[in-house]
Amino acid sequence: MAIDVIPQTAALGAEIRGVDLSASISDSVFSEINDAFLAHQVIFFRGQTIPPKSYVEFGQQFGELIEYMFMEGIRGHPNITEIVKTETSKESFGSFWHSDSTYLERPPKATLLYAREVPVRGGDTIFADMYAAYESLSDGMKELLLPLSAVYSADLFDRSTDQYDDMQGRNQAKKITQTLHPVIRTHDETGKKSLYVNETHTKCLEGMNREESLAILSYLFDHVKKPEISFRLRWEENTLTIWDNRCTQHYALNDYHGQRRVMHRVIAQGGVPH
């Protein structure tokens, strides 16, 4: 193999070594990276100095890049979103358990997040394995959930508070965006089933109101937070992390008030969940 893959936990996560992402990646090397991505769901690279053009080109190897609906991209690169928490911000972007943009008909396949500035301490991201979340459900719960779909919505929380100070109000009228997806998703590449509901974007089960749905959803929202199926990533400057939105959830810890954090994100579009 051209790369080294170092698993991080029994559940998910792997560090990739032996590749320089500032240069072009050959098809054979990318194939190894993609194999590790599919096997470990979250992969990360330390010590990478990646210019925006190279970042976009690498991201495109995972699929067509899409712009984030609620935020402008950086100058000259509309697909790169800059996510900033300033020294005076109290809330942070992504401090809820979620998979990215599941309210879209075709949610992201992969998210790439590149650390430009990080706090001295704090600001870790926790990832959870949704394959394991599904597998650890009882047979009765699996039978109940398999035929169900849910409403995934962009309007479950306010996008005008402190955590979105750096957003420019783009497409705020589209907060009503919502769609139906299965509660249990089948991965389009691995064929494995995963739990797909998340507390940030899953509004209700199809055919039920929210209050009725929460009788089931609240249990599932707590179920995904078990430490046994998680991996906690400690960010360093120039770390690039990629996660599979089809089979993971994540939570950005907001424990670094008074410190600045700057991340650059690109997202590769996926297919319609089934």
Q: Where in the chain are the domains?
A: 4-269
pLDDT of residue 162: 45
Name the catalytic one among 98, 185, 201, 261: 98
pLDDT of residue 164: 46
Residue position matching structure tokens 């597998």:
135
Name the catalytic one among 40, 201, 250, 261: 250
Residue position matching structure tokens 């992201």:
108
Angstrom distance (rounded) from CA 51 to CA 59: 12
Phi, psi of 107 (to 5 degrees): -65, 165
Mean pLDDT value across residues 85-101: 90
Strands 42-45 and 14-17: parallel
Q: Tell me which residue of 226, 139, 246 sits closest to 182, measured CA to CA.
A: 246
pLDDT digits (tens, 9 = 90+) for 264-274: 999 999 999 99
pTM: 0.94
77 is a catalytic site residue = no
Angstrom distance (rounded) from CA 73 to CA 77: 6
At 192, is the secondary structure helix, strand, or coil?
coil
Q: Contact at 8 Å (CB) between 108 and 250?
A: no
* Measured CA angle at 219 (ends 213, 224), to 5 deg: 120
Angstrom distance (rounded) from CA 86 to CA 88: 5
Of residues 169 and 147, the one with the higher pLDDT is: 147
100 is a catalytic site residue = yes
40 is a catalytic site residue = no
Q: Contact at 8 Å (CB) between 247 and 198?
A: no
The contacts of residue 94 (CB under 8 Å, 6+ apart) are 83, 125, 250, 251, 252
pLDDT digits (tens, 9 = 90+) for 7-55: 999 999 999 999 999 999 999 999 999 999 999 999 999 999 999 999 9
98 is a catalytic site residue = yes
The mean predicted confidence, pLDDT, of the chain is 93
Name the catalytic one among 100, 185, 244, 264: 100
Name the CATH architecture for the domain at 4-269. 4-Layer Sandwich (3.60)
Name the catalytic one among 40, 181, 187, 265: 265
Angstrom distance (rounded) from CA 138 to CA 160: 40
User: What is the helix (H) or strand (E) element at residue 217, kind and residue range?
Assistant: helix 210-223
